[in-house]
Structure 1
Amino acid sequence: MESIDALKWRYAAKKFDPEKLLPSEKVEVLKRAFNLTATSYGLQPLKLMVVQNKEIQEKLMKASYHQKQVNTASHVLVICIERSVNKAFIENYFKTVQDIRETPDEILHPFKESLIGDFEQKPVDEVKIWATHQAYLVLGTLLTVCAAEKIDSCPMEGFQPNEYDRILELEKYGLEAVLVLPVGYRADDDFFASLKKVRRPLEETIIEL
């Protein structure tokens, strides 16, 4: 039940304590959790930008419809997708597979060529949607790990992606911002922290066959 208790404890923090910073070992856990998240085909078409800079956070807050969580959080995690998942990207993934697992090329080659062919035929918008779906998988992992580690968080879609891209200069990394996760420690006077969690009854959300 420890996992369930952690998820009950978790809520979308409305107010962070700006004086309480995450220790480096907690940030390291979140970075590793990001990197270990399952993604389609294992391709990881994502990168995580970890922001701990109040001047930048202030700019990002303005690009987040002035939601205070962004500039009061200890760190702001920006989940980004790769602008291009092309032949070179896929070949690099399979090279990593070979380096780590020492899998013979004759075994990997058919799957590699199939993936390359599939992605070359997909419209750019379709690949972007696919990559964004992977970002939501990552967000779910990070929220769960935050709960287990007693790190407060606030998942956010309400921001201006183009402004984030500009402020963080994501174009030079070949990235686009798709999700934002401020993390830190809840403020003592965050009214929402003490409210009971509201969920539909279990019997209304689970179907057993």
Structure 2
Amino acid sequence: MSSNTIEKLQWRYATKRFDSSKTLSEEKLDILKETFNLTATSYGLQPLKMVVVSNTDLKEQLMPLTYHQTQVRDASHVLILCVEKRINENFIVDHFKRVEGKRNTPRTILEPFEKALIENFSKKQAPEIRQWMANQLYLTLGALLTVCAVENIDACPIEGFEPKKYDQLLGLDEKGLESLIVLPVGYRDESDLFINFKKVRRGVEELIIEMN
């Protein structure tokens, strides 16, 4: 199989050691920000935010809250993917205002959808809404990892961290946010033993079911 995209995905791996002397350019960082913004979410609501940490001292403080995983300290930037603490009527109304402004869609068309969505969320319990938001966040994680590979940016998604302590340190509680995933990005240290490890996957033949 010959494809530059597949080659890039083969190149990608969960980086264990970053070269702390290498920094992402603003152009590369902007690509990741726009990727986060453009990724699909259910209803287009985007119940998410991304915190970008580049400050060296702050990264040092985050490392012990990430069970001393050095990627957080040594990466060029640490992307912290967050969900909103709650989705209320105002959040949904604001979304439809953006739709109206961008597309000039008449209110007569938007209003039934807006009301239906407000009613739908009013019937959901908080844990169900949180799980829904987490699902949207993992969509953005997949997009970010793919774009990182295409752009030759190394990354290592991390779920092993202390979210409440992250939230406290970064003031996320006050912003109505909850951290869910930590994604250090930058450039691999060539001494990382995992660079040359072969990928272990179940394979297309086993994973794909074709119905012709």
TM range (shorter): over 0.9
- Map of 1:97 onto structure 2: 99
Distance in 2 between the 1:58 and 1:123 partners? Answer: 37
Verify: 1:110 aligned to 2:102, yes or no.
no
Verify: 1:144 aligned to 2:146, yes or no.
yes
1:121 positional shift: 1.2
Equivalent position SS for 1:77: strand
How high is the TM-score relative to the length of structure 1? 0.99
Q: Extract unaligned runs of 5+ from structure 2.
A: none
- Map of 1:73 onto structure 2: 75
Distance in 1 between the 2:91 and 2:173 partners? Answer: 17
The 5 A counterparts of 1:3-152 are: 3-152=5-154
Aligned CA RMSD, in angstroms, stands at 0.6
1:172 positional shift: 1.4
- Of stretches 134-143 and 117-126 in structure 1, the one that deviates more from structure 2 is 117-126
1:201 positional shift: 2.5
Distance in 2 between the 1:164 and 1:96 partners? Answer: 31
Distance in 2 between the 1:192 and 1:91 partners? Answer: 47
- Map of 2:163 onto structure 1: 161
- Runs of 4+ aligned residues of structure 1 deviating over 4 Å after TM superposition are none
- Map of 1:184 onto structure 2: 186
Equivalent position SS for 1:170: coil
Distance in 2 between the 1:137 and 1:202 partners? Answer: 21
Q: Extract unaligned runs of 5+ from structure 1.
A: none
Distance in 1 between the 2:163 and 2:173 partners? Answer: 12
1:29 positional shift: 0.3
* Count of residues paired in the alignment: 209
